[in-house]
Structure formats: structure tokens, C-alpha cells
Amino acid sequence: MHSPSESHLTPNSSTKVFGYSEEQSAPSTRIDAVICDLMAHIENYSDEDFDSQWMHLTSAEAEAMVVALIRHFIATTGGKLLSRYLLESRQEVESTTEDETGQ
């Protein structure tokens, strides 16, 4: 049985949350690692508006916040932002390739 948060993130035929089908691969370990980094960031976050230690933030609450942030990102992401990230990714790959070949 999935927890409530897992059921919202598990792709299936009745949801378009991630938009990939059974033929496509599941998210990579790289994506999993970044989500774990986001969890750790939230669990340890502190600034003048939010202090996770002072608020006694639980892991379940941090997980719920990660889910909410991902949902917000999905709902608000547009073509301009995606284009920018794609360009940055391609430039990073080009830079890495140039460093490896010495050109």
C-alpha cells in the first residue's frame, strides 16, 4: 500500500503528473538524488521567515513540502523557463566536452 504522498507521485494511466508512459524509463538515480537533496535542504532550512528546527519540522511534513514544491513547479513551468534550462544543459554538456577534448 502506498502512502498518500507516494500515490500522488506514482505515474499511471489515470494521471498526467509526469507525462511518461510505461514504455519510457522511470526517473533516474540523478533525479532521485536531487529530490533527496531538496528534502535535506528543507529539513535543515533556516532564515528569518522559516526555521525548520524551531518549527520541529517532521520528515512527513518536509516530504509534503517537497510534493507541494514539485506540484507548484509543474503548474507554473512554461516554455521560456524550459528553454532556458535546456540551453543551460546544452551549454554545460558542450563545456564538459570541450574540457575533455582540450579544445
pLDDT digits (tens, 9 = 90+) for 25-80: 676 999 999 999 999 999 999 999 999 999 999 999 999 999 999 999 999 999 99
Measured CA to CA, the distance from residue 51 to residue 56 in angstroms comes to 9
In the prediction, which pLDDT does 5 show?
Answer: 44
Residue 67: how many CB atoms within 10 A of its CB? 16
Residues 7-39: tens digit of each pLDDT: 444 444 444 445 555 566 676 999 999 999 999
Supply the pLDDT for residue 22: 57
Mention every residue, 6+ apart, whose C-beta is less than 8 A from residue 35: 66
pLDDT at position 100 is 75
- The pLDDT value recorded for residue 101 is 72
Q: In the chain, where are the structural domains located?
A: 32-101
CA–CA dist 21, 65 (Å, integer): 26
